[in-house]
Chains A and B, each alone.
Chain A
Amino acid sequence: AQTVTQSQPEMSVQEAETVTLSCTYDTSESDYYLFWYKQPPSRQMILVIRQEAYKQQNATENRFSVNFQKAAKSFSLKISDSQLGDAAMYFCAYRRPGNQFYFGTGTSLTVIP
Chain B
Amino acid sequence: ETGVTQTPRHLVMGMTNKKSLKCEQHLGHNAMYWYKQSAKKPLELMFVYNFKEQTENNSVPSRFSPECPNSSHLFLHLHTLQPEDSALYLCASSQTLAELTDTQYFGPGTRLTVL
Contacts and interface: CB of A to CB of B under 8 A. Distances in A.
Nearest to B4: A44
Contact of A52 (B43, B90, B97, B101): B101
A45 interface: yes
A35 to B, nearest CB: 7
A37 B108 CA distance: 14
Contact of A105 (B1, B40, B100): B40
A4 B41 CA distance: 11
Given A99-B48, A103-B43, A104-B42, A44 B97 contact: no
- B interface, by DSSP: helix, strand, loop or mixed? loop
B70 interface: no
Interface in B10-43: 40-43
A82 B14 CA distance: 43
Contacts of A102: 42
Contact of A47 (B41, B56, B103): B103
Contacts of B88: 43
A100 B40 CA distance: 20
Q: How many A residues are at the interface, by size bracket?
A: 20 to 34
Given A50-B103, A105-B40, A43 B109 contact: yes
A42 B103 CA distance: 20
Contact of B100 (A4, A32, A37): A32
Given A99-B55, A99-B97, A105 B42 contact: yes
B108 A35 contact: no
Contacts of B41: 105
Nearest to B103: A47
Given A4-B42, A91-B43, A99-B56, A45 B90 contact: yes
26 contacts: A9-B40, A31-B100, A32-B100, A33-B101, A35-B103, A37-B106, A42-B108, A43-B88, A43-B108, A44-B1, A44-B107, A44-B108, A45-B90, A45-B92, A46-B1, A46-B106, A47-B103, A50-B101, A50-B103, A52-B101, A100-B56, A103-B42, A103-B43, A105-B41, A105-B42, A106-B42
